[in-house]
Structures are given as structure tokens and as C-alpha cells.
Amino acid sequence: MKAETSVLQGEFRPAAPYRVIFGQGKVSTLRMEVEQLGGRRALLLSGRSVAEKTDAVRKIAEALGKSCVGTYTGLTQRAPLGAAVEATRMALTTKADTLVGVGGSTISDAARMIAVMMAEGITDEERLRELGRQSQGRLRPDLAGKTLPLQVCIPTTLSAGEFNMGGGNVIDEGAREKIHVRHPALHANLIVLDPEMAVGTPDWLWFSSGIKALDHCIERLYSQGHQPATDAPALMAAELLFTYLPQSNEAQRNANARLQCLLAAWLSMLGVPNYTTGLSHALGHIIGVRYAVGHGYTSCVTQPYVMEFNRPASAQKQALLARAAGIDTKGMSDEGAAIAAARAVDDLILQLGMPHTLRELKIPREDLPVIAEHTLEEGGCRTNAIPITRPEQLLQVLENAW
């Protein structure tokens, strides 16, 4: 009998050596954790909403004690270039050796850019713009022999940007374009998952970022490069989100539910950088920047329709997601289970009161061809389960989502 030849093959690269601590009250150990990393002078970074509407910044500053040399709270959504420059100046003036960021992906993405600006001595807005222009918006600095500050991330949302590795970004609001930086040394040294830090995060942000985490799970299940080592945590993360996200609204004050969601966001990214994203992320990058829409909202209005588009090439993997959503798939075909999975994602979005269509985001229908053209340039189109090579493919999804 001829042995069956497996078509499964691939490679797994270990992630950067970040450390994660999790549990209620873990922030109270922050000073000790930073000192063990070798940090002595910490600059605390956040956005205004977290600083003014929650106790997170105050509690973290208290936990850091005398090692906190300053607080910068001007990193608003997507981290405007000017704010990143201001934060860099403060970090250099205070001789900070550690950046402690509290907030969502905006903060962790910006902190990695600020770290490079500190190492390179970039303290002028026009200088950063010029470097962006010279590199087509993708800086690749030579950091040999230069010292980067330590990075500590304390998330207050489920967007999971703190687990990204190798890059950061800020936005040039005038040009409506991001400036990215890439370098393998850019990653968090410590990530603290403490549900107490998420107290005060509004439901719209918590829920939408939770759908973004689910978006990570789905895309990594069947975009190019998926493998068993990343499938398993993605499916567990999806199960946790389907179970605990509806229980984690601000009014319930359910610390366990919020912690389980934070763990799910971590698991949704476990295995970075061994996998790719797909069409939902590609669309989200363009829509998010062009219309100043949070990526959580873009995931809500793109992923169910992207699942439908990708079904012919990914029904078997989507069927696994149906089981993670608690659906009894016994007797179902992969196609039937995949349809049920997309419906479950859609139902969760509606249950949480999140936007369901591009129309709800006030995106004009006449803009869809332009969105399609710009999205074609995104890497997620090339690594999607069904590679995107023509704007007509994108228009099909965008029309359904509108």
C-alpha cells in the first residue's frame, strides 16, 4: 500500500523574548519588574482619555514610585507625528531609559517609533517627515551600537498591538499617511495584563477592539502561512472571545471576564511573526487611515463579508471556528459549518451593538472604487486565502459590506 504524502509543511520561528505577566493587581509589582529589567528612569506614555477618564495612569505612576520621571498624555488616536516628537523630547530631557505605555495599539505602536527617535536623536517634526519621504513611509534605521529604551506595555483594550514585533508607526495627519519604522529589535520587553487597568475603558472601544482580536484569530487561521502552532492558540482565543466578550461590559465590573478577554487578545497574536493577515486587515488599514475610523470598527464591518468571500478556499478552517463559537457541527459539511461560523461572527457583532456596515461608518458609496484601488497595494491582499489581484474582487466585498 502506497503511503499517503502529507502536503503540510512550513517553518516556525520563535518570537522575540518578551515576558507577559497577567492577573488582577499585577500592576502593583511594576517598579520591581522594571528594575529587574535594568530600568531606573521610566517615562509613562498614554492618551488623554485614559489619563483623564480612568485611574490607570495614576495607579501606574504610583506603582512606579520614584522611578517615574514624567508622564506624557498627548498620544491621541494613531499617534500624531507632532505628539510623538514631543514625547521624544520629554524622554530625552528626563533621561528616560524605559518607556511604559498604557492604552491601546496607538500607544505601543508609537512607543516603538519614539524609541527609535530617541536612539537616533530625532527631535524635529520636519526631520521625521523628510525621513518618511525618503523611505516611502517605511524607515529602516541602522541601530548598530545604539541603545534603545526598555519597552513596557499595559493594555487597556483588546487590540493587542503590544504583541506586534519589529515595527511601530505614527501618522502625519496633514498627509493622512502613516510613517512606519521597521527593525527586529523593536518589541516589548514586558507586557502586563491586568483587568484593573481596563476599568473605565468604554464599551464601544472594548467591544470593537475585541472584534479586532477575533479578526486576528480568523485571518491567521487561513491566510497564507498558517500552521498548527498558530492555529491552536487562535482557536482558543476565539472560543474565549465568543464566551467572555458579551460578559465583559463596563457596567458588570466582571474582572474575570475582562482578564479572559485580555488573555484571548494575547493568544490571538501568539506565534508572531510566523503568520500573515489577509483582506480584512488590508481593508481596515485603508479605511481606518482615510476616514479616521478605529481598526476595531473596521473589523466589525469587514470580517463577516471577507469570510464569505474567502469561503471557497477556507471552508475547512472556518468550520473549526464554528466549533470555537460553540456551534454543534456534527453532521454539517465544511461549507455548512463555515456559513454558520460567519453568521456567529455577525451575530456577536450585532449583540455587542457594534457597527455592521460601511454605511453606518458614513463612508460614501461612491468612494468604494477608490478604497479598492488603494487596498490593492496592501500586503494583506497578497497573503489572503484567495489572493487579491483585481479591484473587482475588492468591490465585491465592499459592496456587500456597504
**What confidence tens digit (pLDDT) does each residue in 328-385 have?**
999 999 999 999 999 999 999 999 999 999 999 999 999 999 999 999 989 899 999 9
Determine the length of the chain. 402
Residue 3 has pLDDT above 70, yes or no: no
Tell me the domain boundaries of the chain. 19-198, 203-401
Whole-angstrom Cα distance, residue 112 to residue 39? 16
Compute the CA torsion angle 249, 216, 110, 96 (nearest 10 deg): 80
In the predicted model, what is the mean pLDDT of residues 251-260?
A: 94
Taking alpha carbons only, the member of 242, 239, 285 closest to residue 105 is 285
Express each pLDDT in 182-228 by its tens digit. Answer: 999 999 999 999 999 999 999 999 999 999 999 999 999 998 878 88
State how far the alpha carbon of 112 is from the alpha carbons of 95, 324, 356, in Å: 17, 34, 32
What's the CATH fold of domain 19-198?
Rossmann fold (3.40.50)
Whole-angstrom Cα distance, residue 338 to residue 341? 5
State how far the alpha carbon of 301 is from the alpha carbons of 52, 81, 213, 275, 349, in Å: 30, 28, 14, 23, 9
The CATH number assigned to the domain with range 203-401 reads 1.20.1090.10
Lookup: cell for 345: 461572527
Whole-angstrom Cα distance, residue 53 to residue 201? 9
Q: 402 Cβ partners below 8 Å, 6+ apart? A: 357, 358, 359, 363, 365, 368
